[in-house]
Amino acid sequence: VSTDDKAANERSRAIDRNLRVDGDKQSREVKLLLLGAGESGKSTIVKQMKIIHEDGYSEEECLQYKAVVYSNTLQSLITIVRAMGNLKIDFGSPERAVSDDARQLFSLAGSLDDGEMTQELGDCMKRMWSDKGVQVCFSRSREFQLNDSAQYYLDALERLTEHHYVPTQQDVLRTRVKTTGIVEVHFNFKGLTFKIAFLKFLLPQSEWVHPTLLMFDVGGQRSERKKWIHCFEGVTAIIFCVALSAYDLVLAEDEEMNRMHESMKLFDSICNNKWFTETSIILFLNKKDLFEVKILKSPLTICFPEYPGQNTYEEAAAYIQLQFEDLNK
């Protein structure tokens, strides 16, 4: 056998070995696509995976979220104060003192730019949050756009404004940053390597680091969807997230559209899409804790006028589930 033939045979064997390795990788690879409308909790699920399966966030990583925690907290309070004007709600404390605090709140907001909260701003926020008028406005938060974690952070202002504050795992979990596309999170579970990817720009599969399982959390806002609807043919399963608590809210980008109705439209377009005819779809009803509290004071008929049942968690959640299941044709 000539030298050229030996070299050709070796190249052929190398190609065969690579094909076998790639085949083994693909046989162990499960691709999950995490979808849902905006603010349905997709990013939170990804963070929970990291906390549960990858020893959570280190202190250094938690500190990187400090500015986000502060920003979410401040913006939530500012949103409530602004909504008071629109809803014609007065402050509960003596007008002059609270008006001064409100002006101070807006003037000090820029001091967060360095990622730290001054004592002056922290004290101002605590006084504002304790005001009865602010609390009344917060109780009507379904009438304006407010971060789900607003109460969690504002109730924790005493802790958040401590001098050496370090965000907890729960603080990090509740942060809200709009997902525009896809970012990656890796974790190991029972000897398998999982990868949750939120790529800001969709990359060809050849550029992915091949893990055992890929989970994609894709931005839910309308402007993002056209980027991914046709890009994930061949995924093993889709996890579709629905925020149960969104039934009485409207979209940030379209205040005429109920969020639950928008989620149903999106689910319909996914489960009946030609790209996913062979794909299993898992319906994940999320934000149960918020829904359990809300359903007692905000009726499901806001979203479904024909709803005949009681406003209890079990009955209302079962009805919502049925509405989504009926869309799967």
Annotated catalytic residues are 39, 44, 176, 217, 221
Residue 44 is labelled as binding a ligand: yes
40 known ligand binder: yes
DSSP secondary structure, 266-287, as one string: HHHHHHT-GGGTT-EEEEEEE-
Q: Is 248 annotated as a binding residue?
A: no
Number of other residues whose CB lies within 10 A of the CB of residue 45: 18
Structure tokens at 187: 């974790």
Tell me: is residue 218 an annotated ligand-binding position: yes
Known binder of ligand: residue 86?
A: no
Alpha helices by DSSP H, 87-207: 95-108, 119-129, 132-139, 150-155, 157-160, 169-173
- Find out whether 220 is annotated in a ligand binding site: yes
288 in a known ligand binding site: yes
Annotated ligand binding at 11? The verdict is no
Tell which residue, 314, 271, 272, 312, has the closest CA to residue 295: 312
CB 54 within 8 A of CB 253: no
Radius of gyration of the chain (CA): 24
Of 27, 42, 50, nearest to 228 (Cα)? 42
Q: 173: annotated binding-site residue?
A: yes
DSSP 94-108: -HHHHHHHHHHHHHH
Ligand-binding site membership of 41 (annotated): yes
Rounded distance between C-alpha atoms, residue 69 and residue 63, angstroms: 10
Q: By the 8 A CB rule, do 110 and 71 touch?
A: no
Ligand-binding annotation for 42, yes or no, is yes
The response to whether 287 counts as a known ligand-binding position is yes
Q: CA 251 from chain center: how many Å?
A: 15
Please check if 71 is assigned to a binding site: no
- Alpha carbons 238 and 217: distance in angstroms, whole number: 10
Question: Is 98 annotated among the ligand-binding residues?
Answer: no
Question: Has 135 been labeled as part of a binding site?
Answer: no
Question: Are residues 173 and 47 in contact, defined by beta-carbon separation less than 8 angstroms?
Answer: yes
Which residues define the annotated binding site for Mg(2+)?
Answer: 43, 179
Q: Which residues are annotated as a binding site for GTP?
A: 39-44, 148-149, 173-179, 217-221, 286-289
Instruction: Provide the annotated binding site.
Output: 39-44, 148-149, 173-179, 217-221, 286-289
